[in-house]
Amino acid sequence: MQTQTTKPLPLPAHLSKLNPLRAIAALVFDWMLIGVCFAAAICLPHPLVYLLAAILIARTQLALAVLMHESAHGTLTGTRRVNDLIGQLFAAAPLMLSMFSYRTGHLRHHRAPMASDDPVAVVFGIADYPVSRKELAWRLFKDVSSIGYFLTVRDFMTGKFKHLQIKEQAVPGRAALVLASIVVTNGMLLGALAAAGHPGLYFGLWLLPALTFLQVFARVRAITEHAGYPYAENQIDNARSVVRANWQTFFFGPHCIHYHIEHHQHARVPFYHLRELHQLMQSQGVLPASNLYTGYGRVLREVTSCQTKVSHDTGSPD
Q: Give the model confidence (pLDDT) of 288-316 as tens digits.
A: 999 999 999 999 999 997 544 444 444 44
What are 241's strand-pairing partners?
Answer: 259, 292
Strand residue runs (E) in the chain:
241-242, 292-293
| One-letter identity of residue 200 | G
Rounded to whole angstroms, the Cα distance separating 67 from 20 reads: 12
pLDDT at position 171 is 82
For residue 130, say if its preceding peptide bond is cis, omega within 30 degrees of 0.
Answer: yes
Rounded to whole angstroms, the Cα distance separating 273 from 54 reads: 30
∠ CA 38-41-43, rounded to 5°: 105
Return the closest-CA partner of residue 34 out of 96, 91, 100, 102: 91
Q: Containing H/E element for 206?
A: none
pLDDT at position 162 is 78
Residues of the chain short of pLDDT 70, as ranges, are: 1-9, 165, 167-168, 306-318
Rounded to whole angstroms, the Cα distance separating 210 from 61 reads: 7
Rounded to whole angstroms, the Cα distance separating 245 from 279 reads: 13
∠ CA 115-294-7, rounded to 5°: 45
Rounded to whole angstroms, the Cα distance separating 191 from 263 reads: 38
Instruction: Say how many CA atoms lie within 13 Å of 226 toward its Cβ.
Output: 26
pLDDT at position 69 is 97
Domain spans, the chain:
15-302
